[in-house]
Amino acid sequence: MSDIFGKIKSGAGKIAREADNAIDSKRIEMQIGSIKNQIDDLYRKLGQLTYDSSVKKELENPEVAGVIAKVTELKQLIASKEEEIKNIKEDKVVSQAPQASQAPVPTKKFCANCGKENEANSKFCVECGAKMG
């Protein structure tokens, strides 16, 4: 009987994980949408700058390079987010940082009588010979 419950549980876990993944990819898709809007704004700005430069007969508006760099940056951001969605859909297990090793076992203790550092397993203080707890 417990086996059946176990199967139900693991099935529910899979469904929950898939739901989480769907929410995650939806969230990233929305981020991509908002980044695309930003790019559209920058394209409009670029057009405006180009027009102004042309009217003023400037060779190049210094702002243009900055706007182009920003567009390139945002396009790279979209590419990385699309990659993220792809990974989620393939249900890749994101490698987790290895667990921190357990706290080191103390190998030293201090004599209650004289304060000298002794090995944790020593029965008597090496300094004053007092019995170690």
117 burial level (CB within 10 Å; 0-12, 13-18, 19+): exposed
In the chain, DSSP assigns E strands to: 108-110, 117-119
Judged by CB under 5 A, which of 114, 117, 122, 131 binds Zn ion? 114
Q: Under the criterion CB under 5 A, does residue 119 sit at the interface with Zn ion?
A: no
Alpha-carbon distance 73 to 67, whole Å?
10
Residue 15, interface with Zn ion (CB under 5 A)?
no
Q: What is the closest distance, in whole angstroms, from the C-beta atom of residue 117 to Zn ion in the complex?
A: 10
- Decide if residue 125 touches Zn ion (CB under 5 A): yes
Distances (CA, A) of 108 to 118, 121, 124: 6, 8, 13
Residue 104 DSSP SS3: coil
Q: Running DSSP on this structure, what letter comes out for residue 125?
A: -
Span interacting with Zn ion, options 7-15, 73-81, 88-96, 108-116, rule CB under 5 A: 108-116
Is residue 127 part of the contact set for Zn ion (CB under 5 A)?
Answer: yes
Q: Does 130 bind Zn ion (CB under 5 A)?
A: yes
**DSSP-derived secondary structure for 69-84:** HHHHHHHHHHHHHHHH
Among 8, 113, 124, 131, binds Zn ion (CB under 5 A): 113
CB of 116 to Zn ion, least distance (A): 5
Q: Which is nearer to Zn ion, 32 or 111 (CB)?
A: 111
Specify the residue, 82 or 127, whose C-beta has the smaller distance to Zn ion. 127
Cα torsion 28, 33, 38, 42: sign: positive
* 128 in contact with Zn ion (CB under 5 A): yes
Positions that interact with Zn ion (CB under 5 A)? 111, 113-114, 116, 125, 127-128, 130
